[in-house]
């Protein structure tokens, strides 16, 4: 563990620091306190700490990806339900479409759709907005697109961190082998 006066290392590849594709033979660098430090200049203890930190970050990012996948599936499923509702309710007058209304997980009662062309959409933080079925479908499709964009961004970061992690572990194993072979 580092003391409170030391900055925590942040792994970056050359592509992240320069915005360019890394060239073969270039060093992988990590950012510590605003400075770029080549991975090769770290001692075994620092490499071990970096590898542990990256492993934790990669695990957290994997969990984030799972949560985004669940959210995307939920939005996609809701949009599909709206499509089915629109097909079924098309042209029917109000109060003629019968459905079951859940009172809890095990108890339902009969109900009727009063506005077959309008739905309430959860727009976040407990707020609901009345929208047309098409408007709600568009809203949900935008949410799906946003989730997919975020997943793509996370996936890019995961690939970069995975590469730095693998290089740090390889270097650490090489150093340990050299230290063990020299005795």
- How does pLDDT run across 13-62, given as a tens digit for each residue? 444 444 444 444 556 666 655 667 788 888 889 899 999 999 999 999 99
- Cα distances (Å, whole numbers) of residue 28 to 25, 70, 89, 160, 164: 9, 34, 59, 10, 7
Whether pTM exceeds 0.75: no
Residue 153 three-state SS: helix
Q: Say what the pLDDT of residue 97 is.
A: 77
Return the closest-CA partner of residue 161 out of 36, 64, 59: 59
Q: Which of 19-28, 58-67, 105-114, 164-173 has the lowest mean pLDDT?
A: 19-28
State the Cα angle at 44 between 49 and 179, rounded to 5°: 150
pLDDT of residue 3 exceeding 70: no
Q: Say what the pLDDT of residue 41 is.
A: 84
Beta bridge partner(s), residue 145 = none
- State the pLDDT confidence band at 90, using cuts at 50, 70 and 90: low
Q: Which helix (H) or strand (E) holds 140?
A: helix 133-181
Do 69 and 151 form a contact (C-beta atoms < 8 A)? yes
Summarised one tens digit per residue, pLDDT across range 112-145 is 888 888 899 999 899 999 999 999 999 999 999 9
Q: Say what the pLDDT of residue 39 is.
A: 82
Q: Which helix (H) or strand (E) holds 74?
A: helix 44-89
Q: Say what the pLDDT of residue 8 is.
A: 46
Q: Say what the pLDDT of residue 22 is.
A: 43
Phi, psi dihedrals of residue 13, rounded to the nearest 5°? -90, 165
């Amino acid at each position: 563990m580092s003391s409170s006066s030391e900055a925590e290392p942040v792994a970056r590849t050359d592509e992240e620091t320069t915005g360019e594709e890394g060239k073969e033979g270039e060093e992988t660098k990590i950012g510590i306190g605003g400075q770029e430090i080549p991975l090769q200049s770290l001692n075994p203890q620092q490499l071990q700490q970096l590898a542990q930190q990256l492993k934790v970050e990669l695990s957290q990012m994997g969990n984030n990806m799972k949560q985004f996948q669940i959210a995307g599936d939920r939005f996609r499923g809701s949009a599909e339900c709206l499509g089915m509702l629109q097909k079924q309710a098309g042209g029917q007058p109000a109060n003629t479409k019968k459905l079951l209304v859940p009172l809890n997980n095990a108890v339902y009662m009969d109900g009727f759709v009063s506005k077959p062309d309008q739905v309430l959409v959860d727009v976040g933080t407990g707020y609901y907005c009345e929208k047309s079925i098409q408007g709600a479908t568009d809203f949900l499709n935008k949410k799906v697109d946003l989730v997919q964009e975020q997943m793509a961004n996370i996936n890019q970061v995961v690939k970069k961190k995975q590469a730095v992690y693998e290089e740090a572990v390889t270097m650490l194993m090489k150093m340990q082998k050299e230290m063990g072979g020299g005795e």
